[in-house]
Structures are given as C-alpha cells and as structure tokens.
Amino acid sequence: MMQVDSASPPDTVSAGTVELQVPTELDQLVVVRTVAEAVAARENLDLDAVADVKLAVDEASACLISRATLGGRLECRFRLLPHVLEVVVATTTTTPDVPNLNSFGWHILTTLTDTVTVERNRVAPGVYATGIRFTKKRTVGGA
C-alpha cells in the first residue's frame, strides 16, 4: 500500500497497522485526530496518553500541511507495536526544513511523545518527502 518513507519496507505493514490518507487541507485535521484518538484508545493507552497522541498528530499534521506541495496527500500510519504506538505522518513539502527543530511546534511534539524524528528525502527539485515519526509508550499495565 502506501510507502511512507524509504526507511520502512512495505513488509512491516502488518495486520495491526491503520493507514489513512487525506487531502493536505487544514479542515482534514478533525478526521486525522479522530482516527488517532480511536486507534490510541483501542491500543489501551491511558487517557492522558490518548490525548497526547491526538494533540501530537494534530501538531505534526498541521505543520506538514502548512508546507505541503499543492494538491498533495497527507499520509498517516498508526502501527501497533508491543507496548508502543508508532505514528508516522508524511507528505511532500516544498521546503526541506520542515519542521523547524527549534520551533514551539517541535517543542510541543517532543513534550507529547516518547520519541520523535523527522525523515526527509529530496524527490525532485523543490519537492521533499517529509515524514514525522513518533512513538508513545503504553505506560501502565493491562493488555
């Protein structure tokens, strides 16, 4: 199906993976965050963590959408790993410096998540495949 970035071959897309594609428009954020909430809740993250995932997806998506190439698609992938929910939000952007790692937005992302990284590749002149990958641990017991 969708290939978010070169670092994760398609065979890692397992049965526990949820994928979503929306137009790169800000009014799609509500769709993305609603799915994020439902997935995080199903993964049995505690409600603080569910809320954090939702906000992080919102922030990462908004950041990418603001620099997305015209008519692009925002791809979101939620992967359920043991005790960890991994989220990748990706699109093609017009600049390579998204997000700015010293920005408030990035500070928000690092506060809300356990790990967060950016992956970017130049795919054409002025077009970059940019992905924000973050994880959120399930901190309390319960299956």
The residues that touch another protein, with contacts defined as CB under 8 A, are 30, 33-34, 37-38, 41-42, 44-52, 54-55, 58-59, 62, 66, 100, 102-105, 107-108, 111, 140, 142-143
Dist CA 67 CA 58 (whole Å) = 15
Dist CA 91 CA 76 (whole Å) = 9
CB 12, min distance to another protein, A: 26
CB 137, min distance to another protein, A: 13
CB 142, min distance to another protein, A: 5
Nearer to another protein, 54 or 133 (CB): 54
Dist CA 82 CA 43 (whole Å) = 10
Nearer to another protein, 2 or 29 (CB): 29
**Contact (CB, 8 A) for 79 and 85:** yes
CB 10, min distance to another protein, A: 28
SS3 annotation, 38-66 = HHHHHCCCCHHHHHHHHHHHHHHHHHHHH
